[in-house]
Chains A and B, each alone.
Chain A
Amino acid sequence: MSYSSLTQIQTDIASGKLSVKQLVEGYLGRIDQNKNLNVFLEVFAQEALQKAIEVDNKLKSGKAGKLAGMVIGLKDNLCYKDHKVSASSKILEGFTSLYSATVVERLLKEDAIIIGRCNCDEFAMGSSNENSAFGNVLNPLDHTRVPGGSSGGAAAAVAADLCLATLGTDTGGSIRQPASLCGVVGLKPTYGRVSRYGAVAYASSFDQIGPITKNIEDAALIMEVMSGMDEYDSTLSTKPVPVYSKELRQDVSKIKVAYLKDCLEKDGLDPEIKKRTTEIIDKLKKAGHSVEPVEFPFLDYLVPVYYVLTTAEASSNLARYQGLNYGYRSKNATDMDSTFRKSRSEGFGKEVQRRIMLGTFVLSAGYYDAYYSKGQKVRRFLQNKTQEILNTCDFILLPATPGTAFKFGENTADPIKMYLEDIFTVQANITGMPAISLPMGKHSNGLPFGLQLIGRKFEESKMFAFSNYLLNKF
Chain B
Amino acid sequence: MKIDHATVDKLADLAKLEFDKEGKEAIVKDLNRILTFIDKLNELDTTNVEPLIYMSDEVNILREDEVKHDITQDEALKNSPKHDSDYFKMPKVIDK
Please list the residues of chain A having a beta carbon within 8 angstroms of any beta carbon in chain B: 94-96, 98-99, 191-192, 205, 231, 234-238, 298, 300-301, 303-305, 307-308, 315, 319, 322-329, 333-342, 344-345, 348, 353-354, 356-358, 360-361, 364, 367, 370-371, 373-381, 383, 414-416, 419, 432, 457
Interface of A is mostly: helix
Closest approach, in angstroms, between the C-beta of B58 and any C-beta of chain A? Answer: 6
> Can you list the 8 inter-chain pairs with the closest CB atoms, starting with the nearest?
A376-B51, A326-B79, A380-B52, A329-B81, A377-B46, A304-B38, A379-B52, A340-B16
Task: Decide: B11 and A357 in contact? CB cutoff 8 A.
Answer: yes
Cβ 8 A contact of A360, one of B14, B63, B93: B14
- Check: B17 CB closer than 8 A to any chain A CB: yes
Bound: A325/B35 CA distance, A: 34
Task: Decide: A415 and B17 in contact? CB cutoff 8 A.
Answer: no
Cβ 8 A contact of A191, one of B3, B30, B55, B80: B55
Cβ 8 A contact of B17, one of A99, A303, A353: A353
> Can you identify 13 A-B contacts, CB atoms within 8 angstroms?
A96-B78, A192-B56, A301-B41, A304-B40, A304-B41, A324-B80, A324-B90, A335-B93, A339-B90, A357-B17, A361-B35, A374-B41, A381-B44
Q: Which residues of A contact B18 (CB under 8 A)?
A: 341-342, 345
Closest approach, in angstroms, between the C-beta of A320 and any C-beta of chain B? Answer: 11
Q: Which residues of A contact B49 (CB under 8 A)?
A: 377-378, 380-381
- Check: B1 CB closer than 8 A to any chain A CB: yes
Bound: A328/B35 CA distance, A: 31
Please list the residues of chain B having a beta carbon within 8 angstroms of any beta carbon in chain A: 1, 3, 7-8, 10-12, 14-19, 27, 30-31, 33-35, 37-38, 40-44, 46, 49-58, 61, 63, 70-71, 75-76, 78-82, 88, 90-93, 95
Interface centre among A323, A378, A383, A457 (most CB of B within 10 A): A378
Cβ 8 A contact of A336, one of B35, B42, B55, B93: B93
Bound: A231/B76 CA distance, A: 21
Bound: A373/B52 CA distance, A: 9
